[in-house]
């Protein structure tokens, strides 16, 4: 009998134990790899092109982007089994990674990309605790597994919520666009603007979303500056002419491509942004001009410094933009489109009419039917004009968004703003929600018994034990407009997003002549 055989016979139990231990360790590591916790943990799917489908490519979209029944749904949903892998759309950097506690999402991952030379960010939501597999600052590649799908947050079943934003970081600039073109491109193995690009209808839908977002910024900036509606319509027409209301970077200004943009123009001069303004000509730095709110402010300051209200529409716009003489008429050609855009986004038509900027019969800055001053429709319209503004704790006053690093609203700041604007200052609400026993917003106004009696413009209070922790503006149809919480923006969403409804208040009524009047218990002076 050889020495090796003798050794095996003598130590077979120890050898078997070592083998079993190794098998267990191997099996454990394989399981951890499935959870992306055992190095290298960078598994994913094969990618044919620069983009990857965020779930199994055989899975179709279940709930689409801003559909008729869910106009506030700023992404798409994929119904996939619990724990299914979620893949990065493109190469990028993790800017947020949290497996619980994210309002509405539970857990989420946010990635920053550059696709086709343009900054984009993507969102993957509803992860359960332990389902986020990446960390902030980590570099990821297209098709890499970044999370396991879950059912946390405001979710009715296991699924992945996926968003695409026209910004480098969804957290700092909320600019949702239709993800469908990118999803189609991922399936085809092309870029979203490649030879196998999505169909014209999909591209048009994405362009409309960008235009509406920037138009809302132009409108809210003008409202905050006290610019009459006619001036705001002029600004919209200028934006449509100059850039189709896209925040354009330029190849002629390389620095502009470093900032969030809606595309890069070839550029034959140094004009950038939605109004095509030039750095070095008192409009601000390139970085400032690439901020749509800044560009709009610069335009309004120049417009309101003139006697534009005595001029016709085309002349007022052209005197600010100063195009070639043969191009001055192009602004008036977009006037009707600008008015329609204002009306759709505000819910009311701009005051005034065609011709001069302030014709007889119109009061600049005040809405006209169907949103007469003091009506619930006017309150809703004022709130809708601020959709997309970031949540800022303590933000907002009667004149508009406030705060840093970006101007915005908290929940009660938005409601006091909407009422101040809709009533011409007749109803000034305090800047906190409160409860039924103090002078906060919930302690004033006319109590409404239940939701079946609520009207557009009523305030909805959410919380527990009679103490309001959140407030929104009822928009009708089970929807409200509100500023939810940190790292979100003013939005219109279902009432269920607010939590437990504990009270409804009405602050304006119509007197016998049809004029707006403060409700009996509503204040005419502000609180703290």
Q: Which positions are annotated as active-site residues?
A: 411, 470, 482
Residues 6+ apart with CB under 8 A from 12: none
Tokens 């920053």 map to which residue?
A: 112
Task: Please state whether 255 falls in left (phi above 0), alpha (psi between -120 and 50) or beta.
Answer: alpha
Q: For strands 264-265 and 249-250, give the pairing.
A: parallel
Q: For strands 491-494 and 501-506, give the pairing.
A: unpaired
CA–CA gap between residue 373 and residue 445 (Å, rounded) = 18
Give the residue from 57, 61, 33, 62 showing the smallest Cα distance to 45.
57
**Cβ contact 378:392 at 8 Å:** no
3-class DSSP assignment, residue 88: coil
CA–CA gap between residue 377 and residue 457 (Å, rounded) = 6
CA–CA gap between residue 373 and residue 379 (Å, rounded) = 8
Bridge partners, residue 164, by sequence = 122, 177
Residues 6+ apart with CB under 8 A from 38: 28, 29, 30, 31, 32
Give the residue from 220, 274, 221 showing the smallest Cα distance to 247.
274
Q: For strands 467-476 and 516-518, give the pairing.
A: unpaired
341 alpha-carbon distance from chain centroid: 18
CA–CA gap between residue 424 and residue 226 (Å, rounded) = 12
338 alpha-carbon distance from chain centroid: 22
* End-to-end CA, the chain: 97
**Cβ contact 406:392 at 8 Å:** yes
DSSP, res 341: H
**Cβ contact 161:126 at 8 Å:** yes
The full 3-state SS of 393-404, as one line of letters, equals: CCCCECCECECC
């Amino acid at each position: 009998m050889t020495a090796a055989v003798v050794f095996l016979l003598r130590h077979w139990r120890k050898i078997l134990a070592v083998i079993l231990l190794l098998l267990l360790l191997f099996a454990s590591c394989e399981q951890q790899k499935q959870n992306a916790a055992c190095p290298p943990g960078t598994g994913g799917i094969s990618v044919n092109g620069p983009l990857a489908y965020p779930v199994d490519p055989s899975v179709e979209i279940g709930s689409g982007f801003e559909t008729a029944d869910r106009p506030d749904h700023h992404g798409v949903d994929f119904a996939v089994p619990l724990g299914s892998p979620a893949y990065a759309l493109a190469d990028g950097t993790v800017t947020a990674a949290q497996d619980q506690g994210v309002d509405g999402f539970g857990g989420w991952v946010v990635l920053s990309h550059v696709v086709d030379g343009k900054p984009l960010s993507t969102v993957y939501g509803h992860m359960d605790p332990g389902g986020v597999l990446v960390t902030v600052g980590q570099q990821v590649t297209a098709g890499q597994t970044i999370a396991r799908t879950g059912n946390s947050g405001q979710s009715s079943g296991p699924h992945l919520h996926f968003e695409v934003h026209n910004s480098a970081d969804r957290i700092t600039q909320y600019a949702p666009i239709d993800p469908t073109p990118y999803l189609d491109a991922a399936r085809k193995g092309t870029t979203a603007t490649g030879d196998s690009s999505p169909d014209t209808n999909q591209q048009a839908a994405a362009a409309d979303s960008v235009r509406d977002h920037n138009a809302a910024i132009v409108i809210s900036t003008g409202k905050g500056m006290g610019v009459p509606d006619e001036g705001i319509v002029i600004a919209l027409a200028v934006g449509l002419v100059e850039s189709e209301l896209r925040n354009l970077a330029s190849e002629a200004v390389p620095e502009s491509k470093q900032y969030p943009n809606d595309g890069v123009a070839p550029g034959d001069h140094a004009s950038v942004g939605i109004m095509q303004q030039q750095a070095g000509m008192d409009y601000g730095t390139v970085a400032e001009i690439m901020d749509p709110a800044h560009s709009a402010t610069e335009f309004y300051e120049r417009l309101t410094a003139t006697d534009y209200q005595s001029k016709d529409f085309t002349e007022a716009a052209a005197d600010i933009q100063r195009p070639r003489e043969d191009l001055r008429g192009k602004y008036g050609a977009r006037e009707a489109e600008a008015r329609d855009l204002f009306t759709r986004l505000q819910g009311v038509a701009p005051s005034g009419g065609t011709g001069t900027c302030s014709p007889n019969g119109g009061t600049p800055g005040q809405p006209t039917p169907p949103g007469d001053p003091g009506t619930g429709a006017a309150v809703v319209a004022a709130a809708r004009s601020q959709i997309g503004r970031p949540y800022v704790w303590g933000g907002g006053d009667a004149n508009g968004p406030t705060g840093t690093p970006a101007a915005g609203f908290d929940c009660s700041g938005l409601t006091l703003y909407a009422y101040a604007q809709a009533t011409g200052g007749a109803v000034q609400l305090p800047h906190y929600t409160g409860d039924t026993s103090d002078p906060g917003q919930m302690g004033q106004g006319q109590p409404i018994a239940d939701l079946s009696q609520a009207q557009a413009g009523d305030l909805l209070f959410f919380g527990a034990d009679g103490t309001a922790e959140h407030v929104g503006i009822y928009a009708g149809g089970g929807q409200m407009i509100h500023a939810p919480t940190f790292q979100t923006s003013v939005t219109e969403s279902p009432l269920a997003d607010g939590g437990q409804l504990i009270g409804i208040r009405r602050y304006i009524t119509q007197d016998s002549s049809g004029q707006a009047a403060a409700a009996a218990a509503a204040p005419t002076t502000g609180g703290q």
